[in-house]
Structure 1
Amino acid sequence: MGITRRTLISTAALAATTAGLATPAEAGGRKTRPVIFIHGSAGSAMQFRTQAKRLASNGYPIDTIEAHEYDSPNIATILAAVYAGLDDRITRLLAATGADRVDLIAHSLGTFVTQGYLTSSPERAARVAHYVNLDGRPAAALPAGVPTLAIWGEGDPARAVTGATNVYFPDQSHTQTVSSVESFREIYRFLQGREPRTDRVVAQRTAYISGRAVLFPSNAGVTGAKLEVYPVSPRTGRRLGRKPAHIRPIGADGTFTRVPLQPHARYEFALIRDGQATHHFYFEPFRRSDSFVRLLTSRPGEGIGALVDTSDRHTALTFQRQKEWWGDQGDHLWINGTNILNSANAPRAKRVIGVFAFDDGSDGVTDLTAPIPEIFAVTFMTGMDVFIPAAQRRLGTVPIVVKSRGGGFTHLPVPNWRSSTHRVSIEIDDH
């Protein structure tokens, strides 16, 4: 997308990077190292879902690709614990795989965390073969000498990690640099020393889905919950049966174990907690196994969810996409036939990845002339005052159509659950 500028900072840096690449046997695809993704502010494993599946489509075992998640709003007070947890994760992965080292990939605030980790001790740096710095912190030298690829999106073109391979995508936004196919190609070449066999998410006969239910943005695990998985109609979004196809308990850290799904079908993930609204999550077809699914939620009266007005009369929807919504430059999101994105509520400069659509004030009126201020004030988020009639006697359907800039149309209808007793989140693919 757009112009790519690739900069090799110095001959010495090139030599250092080449020395750190995989051995010829690994470059031939016979070996891979474990990959650990470290997210940015208010992030989670979700930002790396697509890239993990692209890596798996090129032969990486999915159980050797992990995310190191942490409470980003409190990083200043927990940094030592985050480092210790990363130590344990690396030790476990090296023992399980027999690999000599791991590869680290970090985004935004995660680059601050990772650069600090690498420079904190020679022993830590010695266990890392490669480091990928995604649109984050510049540096005056390679972090602890570890071979580094730095990918930069829109913004100051002078940003760089000195000594690294610096690649620039000026037409990509902050989160898009994590999920884009262009970034994937650069990452794969850097880690493996060759072109990927494919840059697509290759479908499997059965997709095994696992992940965590977490409180946003702390990434603390949801407790006292269970997960119900229902096949849904691609035409209406409604359940195809009364009973769930799968039920999984939610563990103490929010984890749920593997669920076998058909790769081209659509499903509802219903998070059930006693005394709380059922939280329904809808995804596009998974295509292949995915261990990075995150069900982002909150406790009643806490977080951004507390800003959403609810009633028996309207449905409230939350949309996520790990590629920014540009309401002023080609992205469209139609709900019941109305495009809710515009230059006021989703300008490119806002870098929106989360969209809240609900009847602000519960007055039955849609007003898209300005965003809902208290949600628009949250980083990466926007809110729209959209009246979406809810089910009264029988559950109906909310038609949802997405047109991504430079792409085609996606239809993702969902049921019109009452917002008084139900929450609805929809994950839109970033590719």
Structure 2
Amino acid sequence: MMRRTLGLLVAAALVVTVTPGTAAAHPHRPRPVVFVHGSAGSAQQYQLQAKRFASNGYPAGLVEAHEYDSTFTLNTMDQVWAGLDARVERLLRTSGADRVDLVAHSLGTFVVQGYLTSSPARAARVAHYVNLDGRTATAPPGGVATLAIWGEGDPARTIAGATNVAFPDQSHTQTVTSVESFIQVYRFLTGHAPRTTRVVPQRKVTLSGRAVLFPLNAGVPAGTLEIYQLSPLGTRIRQVATAPLSGDGTFGPVSADGDARYEFAVVRPGAPTHHFYFAPFQRTDTLVRLLTSAPGQGLGALVEAGDRHAAVVVNRNKEWWAGADELRINGRSVLTEANSPRAKRVIGIFAFDKGSDGVTDLSAPLPEFYAQTFITGMDVYIPARGLTVVSARERGTGTVTVLPIPAWPSSSDRSTVNF
């Protein structure tokens, strides 16, 4: 029965993607866009919007992300601002633009509002500021033209003097990635509506990004990155690249097919090989992020390992709501009101066999994981043989995405599936 269920899932929809369209030539010279993430965030949260910008004529790479350690263990606020200064100066020099546009989310709005009000010279280099579900203010920060987008929560939140838009049915991170948010941001930055909200596919793409220790966003200091093209069933067809990891963890660009799936494997001595899986990228992507942890540290150290069962992390930058979204692992529905209630704002899920007993128990979340911001953990027995099929049905759109991956034993390997 399980084999039949897996076969039906894979056959039904390996990946449901958007309908191709035609990107418009941009009617004005676009300014660089810099995204500043919030607590436990990364550039990954702006991948989708960057592709929507590119589908509307923005040059690839003109949308960047400014990453930092949101725990402020590795950096101070002044250091984060100094890094943003350097990024802005570089983008103005290389693009020839007069100013940049800044977009910030959650804790990132505290970072950027402080940046803009800290110095008239800093504010003068910013044309527009977008405040995504974060800090309120009594005036546009630094006098910069401001759009404030608010999700669910207190409807009285505003930035006085700004354009304020509320999406009361959207969750906190969803306000970063949603179509509705993109339309508002694009219109605010350019003065007109986008031609398309779809990710317009390209046949040949390049992929680049960083492998980072999360949530510090420090680069993986040592190791090797291996990149493989996958079959529709998630098995390796060929190796397309290998490169050492060091410094800030930067890799690429790597040439790829827009409609193919890829595996990124971070190989390090003394640590399980960490495999990362994605749906087809569709367009050139400069914000690929491989979120891992130092060997024996972080939440990864709490994952129980064994030769007979697999361990999987599932990420999506739109909160998982039990009862509205559906997530299945090998055909079993795993979202419950106990482990993924709407109020928890779950975007990252750790699934593994707690106790190594071969039994799934979804009656309660794993407390060490559930205690973390935006994270939950669940006791799911995933056999370490054949394939693991992870599938999701998205609330609102009904889109079904099915991502089969190899069922690596957790004693030697870990997997992250990115929707």
Match of 1:405 among 389, 395, 401: 395
2:332 aligns to what?
338
Are 1:317 and 2:306 an aligned pair?
no
Aligned AA for 1:231?
Answer: Q
Aligned AA for 1:285?
Answer: P
Are 1:390 and 2:418 an aligned pair?
no
Match of 2:300 among 293, 297, 305: 305
1:318, 1:126 → 2: CA distance?
A: 42
2:413 aligns to what?
422
Equivalences for residues 196-211 of structure 1 within 5 A: 196-211=194-209
Q: Residue 167 of structure 1: SS of its match in structure 2?
A: strand
Aligned AA for 1:375?
Answer: F
Q: TM-score of the superposition, structure 2-length normalised?
A: 0.92
**1:243-271: CA deviation from partner (whole Å, max 9, x where unpaired):** x1222332411100211111111111111
Match of 2:283 among 262, 284, 288: 288
Gaps of 5+ in 1: 1-26
1:162, 1:245 → 2: CA distance?
A: 51
Mean CA deviation greater in 169-178 or 196-205 = 196-205
Q: Residue 353 of structure 1: SS of its match in structure 2?
A: strand
1:180, 1:399 → 2: CA distance?
A: 26
Indicate if the aligned counterparts of 2:330 and 2:390 stay in contact, CA closer than 8 A.
yes
1:154 aligns to what?
152
Cα deviation, residue 275, structure 1: 2.7
Q: Residue 259 of structure 1: SS of its match in structure 2?
A: strand
**1:295-344: CA deviation from partner (whole Å, max 9, x where unpaired):** 0000121111111111111100000000000013x211111111000111
Indicate if the aligned counterparts of 2:208 and 2:251 stay in contact, CA closer than 8 A.
yes
**1:32-81: CA deviation from partner (whole Å, max 9, x where unpaired):** 00110000001000110000010011111122211100000117960000
Aligned AA for 1:154?
Answer: E
Cα deviation, residue 132, structure 1: 0.1
Aligned AA for 2:199?
Answer: V
1:192 aligns to what?
190
1:237 aligns to what?
234
Equivalences for residues 25-424 of structure 1 within 5 A: 29-74=27-72, 78-234=76-232, 236-241=233-238, 244-328=239-323, 330-391=324-385, 396-406=386-396, 407-424=398-415
Mean CA deviation greater in 268-277 or 303-312 = 268-277
1:400, 1:87 → 2: CA distance?
A: 41
Give the alignment's Cα RMSD to 1 decimal: 1.3
2:356, 2:224 → 1: CA distance?
A: 30
Change (3 A) 1:28 1:384: closer
Report percent identity of matched pairs.
Answer: 62
**1:208-253: CA deviation from partner (whole Å, max 9, x where unpaired):** 110000001000000212211111121x211124xx1222332411
Indicate if the aligned counterparts of 2:36 and 2:66 stay in contact, CA closer than 8 A.
yes
2:133, 2:68 → 1: CA distance?
A: 19
Indicate if the aligned counterparts of 2:295 and 2:301 stay in contact, CA closer than 8 A.
yes
Change (3 A) 1:374 1:148: same
1:342, 1:126 → 2: CA distance?
A: 48
Indicate if the aligned counterparts of 2:104 and 2:130 stay in contact, CA closer than 8 A.
yes
**1:195-220: CA deviation from partner (whole Å, max 9, x where unpaired):** 11111111112111100000010000
2:223, 2:170 → 1: CA distance?
A: 38
2:401, 2:193 → 1: CA distance?
A: 30
Q: Residue 240 of structure 1: SS of its match in structure 2?
A: strand
Mean CA deviation greater in 301-310 or 317-326 = 301-310
1:300, 1:224 → 2: CA distance?
A: 11
Cα deviation, residue 28, structure 1: 6.6
2:267, 2:368 → 1: CA distance?
A: 28
1:60, 1:75 → 2: CA distance?
A: 35
2:399, 2:85 → 1: CA distance?
A: 43
Aligned AA for 1:207?
Answer: V
Q: Residue 280 of structure 1: SS of its match in structure 2?
A: strand
1:203, 1:77 → 2: CA distance?
A: 38
Aligned AA for 1:357?
Answer: A
